Amino acid sequence: MALRAPQLAVLALAATAVVLVFQGTFGYLFGEWQRDEYSHGFVIPLISAYLLWRQRARFAQLNWRTSWSGVALALLGLAIYFLGSLASITTVDAYALVIVIAGCVLGVMGWQAFKVALVPIALLFLMNPIPQFFYNNLSLRLQLLSSQMGVAFMRLAGVSVFLEGNVIDLGNYKLQVADACSGLRYLFPLMTLGVIIAYLFRGKAWMRWCLFLSTVPITVLMNSLRVGVIGILVDRYGIAQAEGFLHWFEGWVVFIACLLVLLAEGWALLRLTGDARSLREVLTPVAAPPAAAGATLRSRELGKPAVVVLLLLLAAVLPARALPQRPEVRPHRENFADFPLQVAGWRGRRLTMEPIYLDTLRLDDYVLVDFVRDGALPAGHAPARAPVNFYVAYYASQRNGLSAHSPRSCLPGGGWDILEFGQHRLPGAGTAGTELRVNRAIVQHGSERELVYYWFQERGRSITSEYLVKWYLLEDALLRNRTDGALVRLVTPLPQDELASAADARLAEFTASVLPTLAKYLPD
């Protein structure tokens, strides 16, 4: 592929512009790759470059018809980058980087060559961390699944065990299936290997998809087996089996086992379809044919789309470098330490949260109070004396993945089963007597039942949808330079002999009583 000096200079200038625009993104990615879940990110650019290099013969044979679609794709990537930068929302610029790279390739080489390069370029998406909101939800679900399946393995081995959410009770010992045991440390690297194996696998398309998609159940199954084995070892040899080097070593053994299962699946697919080739033969990339003797290199021309892509990158350098780091607006508010324990006929007792939960939630301020109705009550009104647990978690900034954890995700981790879930309207409980909409759940733990109300209070908005919270977070970060917000949760016991309507009335009355006091602690 013959490129003249001016053309090489254009490509070098474009690469330099990408580095200058995304300089901060490279630093962010390097920091994220220090985490165990994303430590495979260091090798993904190298693997992508190797896979592209292996296709160099095909690139040489194809005509390069530059495409204006590459200009649109690069422009989209730059728009996403500036949008994320102005909103100071992390991970967005990392995805924008891959989109811009894809736009450059499409703009320079055209659709035929881009199809050849598509998988190695798409592989770069797997070097990026997923948004923290999705990470938290995925981690919680995998923890529950690993706990349940791990306990099933223990019982098959004859171990007497009791499961309470993510806590495995062995009698003498209790094990908690935390974030580190959710399986994400295996899932993301194994998905990357699944993409590479499926790409190299010279078989039918459905077989490639099977190899890639099976990385998820393989990871869940093997991680659950790991949890089960740890529980069995702890039951028989003590708590040291779940700590230190042995725990780390078990993790590596499970990951290697996942990879071997994936390769065994590829071998089985070949045999089931009557393909006699060996797995090594199927996965070995076809060597690039040597150039014919006396063959001349085909001259390449960089068309107008390629030049426009370069101009877009050069035009983005100065704004990207000069983009001001806007100090986030953090409105004045009262501290929850001063929250009153007497609220409109309700008397409270302040509670504190254990450090282990504070380390997980990473909130800026919170209030946790058990309220009961104050004063004497007429005979026959005993249920009204039931307490209302009032909890508000406040975040001064929800950038960088910090946000309130939804009770709908967290309650099952504590062993609570959600019997009912939906939305509930509280007429007159909102600001200035407006209607307040809340999430309502009835949960059960053993013989205990509770009624739960919760919603997200986000810069003057009362929101029930977790996804709508993220939308307004982006909107307010851009337009108001604010991302503060809070989770408000109310819980009251629901004994078997009490109607749900009585508990609803209790929570509705307390909500209407406490919201005027809460207003100065959660600024509009």
pLDDT digits (tens, 9 = 90+) for 91-124: 888 999 999 999 999 988 888 889 989 999 999 9
Q: If pLDDT is split at 50, 70 and 90, which confidence band does 33 have? A: very high
For residue 302, which of 480, 66, 13 has the smallest C-alpha distance?
A: 66
Q: Hey, what's the torsion of the CAs at 379, 500, 444, 349, to 10 degrees? A: -50
Q: If pLDDT is split at 50, 70 and 90, which confidence band does 524 have? A: confident
Which run of H or of E encompasses 254? helix 244-272
Which run of H or of E encompasses 319? helix 304-322
High-pLDDT (> 70) share of the chain, %: 87
pLDDT in tens, 325-379: 667 788 888 899 989 998 888 888 999 888 877 877 888 899 999 999 876 444 4
Q: If pLDDT is split at 50, 70 and 90, which confidence band does 492 have? A: very high
Sign of CA dihedral 175, 180, 182, 185: negative
Q: Is the pLDDT of residue 383 over 70?
A: no
Distance CA 105, CA 165 (A): 48
Q: Cβ atoms within 10 A of the Cβ of 403, count?
A: 27
Distance CA 388, CA 72 (A): 55
Give the residue, 132 or 335, on which the prediction is more confident: 335
Q: How far from the centroid of its chain's Cα atoms is residue 77's Cα?
A: 21
- Predicted pLDDT at 379: 46
Q: Is the pLDDT of residue 313 over 50?
A: yes
Sheet holding 162-164, edge to edge: 162-164, 167-169, 174-176
Q: If pLDDT is split at 50, 70 and 90, which confidence band does 268 have? A: very high
The least confident of 128-142, 266-280, 439-453 is 128-142
Distance CA 241, CA 235 (A): 9
Q: If pLDDT is split at 50, 70 and 90, which confidence band does 323 have? A: low
* Contact (CB, 8 A) for 201 and 283: yes
Q: What is the mean pLDDT of the chain?
A: 83
Helix ranges (H only) for 123-202 are 132-156, 184-200
Coil vs helix vs strand at 307? helix
Which run of H or of E encompasses 245? helix 244-272
Distance CA 115, CA 264 (A): 29
The structure tokens 């470059």 sit at: 49
Q: Is the pLDDT of residue 20 over 60?
A: yes
Distance CA 470, CA 190 (A): 29
Mean pLDDT calculated for residue range 250-258: 80
The least confident of 107-116, 170-179, 210-219, 292-301 is 292-301
Token pair belonging to 58:
């095909």
Between the alpha carbon of residue 114 and those of residues 61, 128, 150, 307, the distances in Å are: 13, 21, 44, 17
Token pair belonging to 186:
């295996």
- Predicted pLDDT at 377: 45
Mean pLDDT calculated for residue range 437-441: 93
The structure tokens 């307004």 sit at: 472
Distance CA 259, CA 189 (A): 10
Q: What separation, in Å, do the N-terminal and C-terminal C-alpha atoms of the chain show?
A: 61
Q: Is the pLDDT of residue 295 over 70?
A: no
Return the HEC string of 54-67.
HCHHHHHHCCCCCC
Is residue 155 exposed (0-12), middle (13-18) or buried (19+ Cβ within 10 Å)? Answer: middle
Q: Is the pLDDT of residue 45 over 70?
A: yes
* Contact (CB, 8 A) for 459 and 480: yes
Q: Is the pLDDT of residue 294 over 60?
A: no
For residue 438, which of 508, 386, 343 has the smallest C-alpha distance?
A: 508
- Predicted pLDDT at 451: 93
The residue type at 19:
V
Helix then strand then coil, in percent of the chain rounded to 5, is 55, 15, 30
* Contact (CB, 8 A) for 99 and 77: yes
Distance CA 45, CA 223 (A): 27
Radius of gyration, CA atoms only, the chain: 28
Give the residue, 453 or 280, on which the prediction is more confident: 453
Range 25-32, long-range pairs (CB < 8 A, 24+ positions):
25/81, 25/93, 25/94, 25/96, 25/97, 28/90, 28/93, 28/94, 29/94, 29/127, 29/128, 32/128, 32/129
For residue 211, which of 107, 144, 282, 143 has the smallest C-alpha distance?
A: 282
- Predicted pLDDT at 382: 45
Mean pLDDT calculated for residue range 494-504: 88
In terms of pTM, does the model score above 0.85? no
* Contact (CB, 8 A) for 164 and 144: no
Between the alpha carbon of residue 34 and those of residues 28, 30, 135, 247, 312, the distances in Å are: 10, 7, 16, 20, 32
Ramachandran sector of residue 183 (left: φ over 0; alpha: ψ -120 to 50; beta: rest): left
Is residue 275 exposed (0-12), middle (13-18) or buried (19+ Cβ within 10 Å)? Answer: middle
Distance CA 134, CA 128 (A): 13
Distance CA 231, CA 225 (A): 10
Give the residue, 323 or 461, on which the prediction is more confident: 461
